[in-house]
Amino acid sequence: MNGALVANTDGKDNLEKEFTEHASVVKTYFTQNGQDTVKIDNNTATGISFTQIKMIRESEKKDVLSDYSVRYDDNYVFEDGKWFIKERVAHFLIIEARTLGN
């Protein structure tokens, strides 16, 4: 975020654990993906994609909406007939949070 590395997760088990912990405090979310570009080279590929993420969490008994504009730089690998993300770097370009009128 803002050019600084704030998290680094390696391995499927660690990713699942961190995602589950993070998701446990999110009441609801919305994700919209778009503007994908992918360059395929045999069984590997690179790609850039953009997404909008909106998450609602509770803070001090009020709902807080966090709005993220993100660019993903991805490396993919084709294994066993399927494409997988091998590595992903997320660039949080715009982050905004506000309390909803509840």
pLDDT in tens, 60-84: 899 999 999 999 999 999 999 999 9
- Provide the CATH topology of domain 12-99: Nuclear Transport Factor 2; Chain: A, (3.10.450)
Which alpha helices (H) appear in the chain, and where do they start and end? Answer: 12-23
pLDDT in tens, 9-53: 888 888 889 888 888 889 999 999 988 999 999 999 999 999 999
